[in-house]
C-alpha cells in the first residue's frame, strides 16, 4: 500500500549518527508537502543530543526503510565514484514510512468467543431499548427450561 504524505504525519529519517547521539534513525513530523512529493519535517532528536537542526527541508520520502537505505547507499557510491572520497553525511537525510504495527493476531477460538460476546451484548442492548422484548439468550434459556419441565401430552399418544 502506497502511503501519501500529509502535514502532521510521522515518518522516520535516516541521519548522521554523530548528529543524533549515536542513533542513525529518528522520528519526524511532516510540516510541509512539496508538489514533487518531497517533504519538510521537524525532527525529534535523541534527548541528549546537542544538535542545532530544527528542521529538514526537501526531504525525499520513500515507502520503506529498505528503499530509503538503497537510495542513500546509491548516492554515497555515486559521490565516491565522482569525487574519490565519501560525502559529508551531516546534511544527507532520507525519510521513510515506519513499518505498520498492527494488533496482535487473534486465534479462531478468541474470535469465536468475541463473536459470542458481541451477539449477547447486542441482544441485551436491544432488550434495554425495548423493555417488552426479552433478550435472545434469556428466551433460549426459558425455552430450554420449559421443554424440560413439560410432561408429554397423553392426547398425543
pLDDT at position 33 is 96
> Among residues 96, 121, 138, which one ends one of the domains?
96
For residues 91 and 120, state if they share a domain. no
pLDDT at position 92 is 86
pLDDT digits (tens, 9 = 90+) for 31-60: 999 998 899 999 988 776 666 667 899 999
Q: Could you give the number of structural domains in the chain?
A: 2
For residues 81 and 117, state if they share a domain. no
The domain in which residue 120 lies consists of 108-149
pLDDT at position 137 is 59
pLDDT digits (tens, 9 = 90+) for 75-85: 999 999 999 89
Please list the ranges in the chain whose pLDDT falls under 50.
157
pLDDT at position 142 is 60
Sheet containing 94-96: give its strands across.
56-59, 39-44, 25-33, 10-14, 94-96, 61-62
pLDDT at position 99 is 85
pTM of this structure = 0.60
For residues 14 and 70, state if they share a domain. yes
Amino acid at each position: 500500500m502506497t502511503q501519501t504524505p500529509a502535514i502532521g504525519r510521522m515518518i522516520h529519517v535516516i541521519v548522521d549518527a554523530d548528529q543524533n547521539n549515536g542513533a542513525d534513525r529518528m522520528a519526524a513530523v511532516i510540516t510541509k508537502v512539496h508538489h514533487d512529493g518531497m517533504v519538510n519535517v521537524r525532527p525529534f532528536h535523541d534527548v541528549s543530543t546537542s544538535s542545532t537542526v530544527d528542521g529538514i527541508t526537501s526531504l525525499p520520502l520513500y515507502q520503506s526503510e529498505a528503499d530509503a537505505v538503497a537510495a542513500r547507499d546509491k548516492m554515497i557510491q555515486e559521490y565516491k565514484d565522482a569525487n574519490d572520497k565519501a560525502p559529508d553525511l551531516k546534511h544527507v537525510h532520507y525519510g521513510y514510512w515506519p513499518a505498520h504495527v498492527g494488533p496482535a493476531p487473534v486465534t479462531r477460538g478468541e474470535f469465536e468467543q468475541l463473536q459470542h460476546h458481541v451477539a449477547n451484548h447486542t441482544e441485551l442492548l436491544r432488550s434495554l431499548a425495548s423493555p417488552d422484548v426479552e433478550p435472545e439468550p434469556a428466551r433460549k434459556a426459558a425455552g430450554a427450561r420449559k421443554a424440560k419441565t413439560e410432561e408429554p401430552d397423553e392426547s398425543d399418544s
